[in-house]
Every structure is written in C-alpha cells, then in structure tokens.
Amino acid sequence: MNHRVVVTGMGVVSPLGNTIDMFADNLFAGRSGVGKISLFDVGELPVQIAAEVKEPVAGGFRDRKIGFAMEAARQSLAEFEPNDSQEKLGDESGLSIGIGLEVLEMNDLIQMPDRTEALETMPYEQRLSFLQTPSDLCAHALSHRYGLQTPPLVCVSACAAGADAIGTAFHMIRSGRRRWMLCGGSDSMINPLGIGGFCKLRALSCQNQAPEKASRPFDADRDGFVLGEGAGMLVLERLDTALSRKATIHAEIVGYGSSLDAHGISEPHPDGRGAAQAMSAAIDDAGQTPETVDCINAHGSSTPKNDVMETLAIRSLFADHADRMPVVSTKSMIGHLIAASGAVEVIAAILGLQRQVLHPTINLSNPDPACDLDYVPGRARSHRHENVLCNSFGFGGQNASLLLRRWQ
C-alpha cells in the first residue's frame, strides 16, 4: 500500500531571512540577498560577493552549516512539544539530509594532538565540530538533539543533495517504512577554499561592483552563479497521521525523480538529457502527465551552460505546453546554496502554492535568445497553480526533480 505524503513543518535559514515569514516577504518582494563578502578577508580574489546569512543562529557550532541545519530543524518541528519529542518522534521517525563538503583548515591539523586529548572534556556541540566527515556531521547532531534512533540517510549529491534528501524521505514514507521524517539540506561554502575553488572553475559571477544584480538566471549578461549559504528543513509525514493529529498541512509531495548525465565532471549534458529524465521520472512517479504541471521552480543557476540546458530540457519534455508554463529561479535572489538549494527552493515553491503567487526571477533585463520561456521577470505574479515541479541539477550531472501539489 502506498501512503500519501504531506508537508507539516518548514524551517529556513537563508540570505533573505531566518524565519519563514521573513523569507517569504523578501522572496515575493523580489529582494536580493547578495552583497560583499564579510565572513573573511577576500584579499585579491577575483570574486568578492556572495549571498551570506545575515542573522546569527544559536548553538555555538564552529561549522556554520550545522548551526543552520539545527535552527531550520527547530523551526520545522516547532509544533511538537519539546518535552514529548522523544515519544512523538519514536522509532517510526527518520532523518534524511543533504549536506555539503567539510572544510578542514591547516590550523586544525596543527592543533590535532592537543584537541584530541581535550575531547573528553569538550561540550557535546564542540565535539561534533572536531574533524568529522561531512556524511555524519549534521545527521549526528540532529539525531542526538531529537532522539532519532533509526539510521540517518545522508545525501552528498552536490547541488541536488537537498532535493534528493526530500525525495528519499518521501519514498520511505510512501512505502510505509517510516511514519514521518525530518528532511532537507544545509550548506555553507563561503570560505576561502569554497570561493577559491569555484573561481578556479570559473563558475562564479565576477560582478563585484553590483552584487545585488550579479545573479541573473536566463539573462544574456549572466557570467556565473553567486555562492550562497543556508538551510531548509521540512517535516514529511503520512497523510493519515497528519489528519489524526490535526496538523497544519502545507503541501503534498506526489513525485520524485533522479538521474545522472554520465557526461562530465562540472558541466551538464548540453541537450539536457539527464535533466529531462529526472523531470519525467518525477511526473511518472506521481502518475501524472507533463500537461498537468502548472509551473516550474527551476535550477536556474545563472551559469551560461546550465540555463540553456535547462530550457532545452523543459522544451524537450513539455513540448508546446512549455509556452504556457511559467518558470522561476529562486537563485536570482538567494544565490546558489549548493547542497541546501533544493530544500530551500522547495519551501519557496510551497509558499507560492499557498499564496497562489509566483515569486519573480530578478535581474532578467536582457533575455538570452536561447532561453525563451516565461521566467516571470522582475515582479511577482498571481498565478493559479495546483502542481509545481522543482528542479535541482548538480555538478557531475546529478539531477533531482520533485513534484508538489497544493493542499486545500
């Protein structure tokens, strides 16, 4: 028996704000979260802009992405009483998270002997920040905080990780293996290694003089993505469980698809073959047809190759329906949150379903002739829609798509 799966909790930490309300207000107003880098001295780096999280988060974690994940999870689980969390979460719960790379600094290696001896006396949160691998860091902290005793599922599929984590949780619940799950993604690569590495790949925008205009998906003047940071966490659960406890239902997840280009390390397949396969798989998973999709929250990264590829993939799958289907890019405002992007963009899509409004794709002032869809440029738009498809396409050709349905 397949169970219906709904979203009953959401939490966000983002360049547009650290609450759902603040994130939504800035999102639909079309405000940019991009600015000059303040987290470290950029020196002579060619890229000096990023979409930073402006407000501090509690927890004392040295690794920003752990703190982001913990805060977003706290928000998403707010309807659970803290004293009852262990009982309510139980062994029918689970965790699925997409996570980014762990940055090991040279100073960590130098101090390793002294820090190893001090481990036994360190507070728990500090021990979590001591030289662990990216595959267990956030998962361990979240599981410990909320008593999640089932094995965590960790996705490390680059820019598709957050979406893959949500899709994996969706399938676990639909199949009856879990009753509810905490899922999403968290990442922070705004550091010298992260910025420097992407500079080497020539993947980042160099529009340092106008940071708020640097992320410009589908625009002819785009020159790369803007690195962002943050986290998005969701509570997914069986519909019958949500109804029995009279939970607030935000949306329904109805389909998930993934694929691999098997083409290149950092560039997508030029024809969008893998992207189209992921979108098609998500629609098939929901038992629907392409014509039932009302709009798309695109990967829309603002890189020259990706935006053209995604446009071609949409046209190849949706044919004439592509001309009637708006496509938006959340990254135009928050930059690229890497492993967290898919989760935060799913939250953006859910907010649009609830309001029946599409947020804008900002900075689209000079459309690229090769990107010829309706990208909702400049301003938010009222739009009746029941189904929205969310795309996340990662480095290495890792693709994930999620199909969401409005709850009413």
Q: Of 279, 295, 315, 306, nearest to 376 (Cα)? A: 295
Say how many Å lie between the first and final Cα of the chain, rounded.
24
Name every residue whose Cβ is closer than 8 Å to that of residue 368 and which is 6 or more positions away in sequence: 218, 219, 220, 222, 307, 308
Catalytic site positions:
159, 299, 336
Question: Distance between CA atoms of 222 and 220, rounded to whole angstroms?
Answer: 6
Phi and psi angles of residue 267, each rounded to the nearest 5 degrees, phi first: -115, 145
Question: Distance between CA atoms of 189 and 197, rounded to whole angstroms?
Answer: 10
Q: Of 149, 159, 187, 167, nearest to 310 (Cα)? A: 159
Question: Distance between CA atoms of 45 and 199, rounded to whole angstroms?
Answer: 8
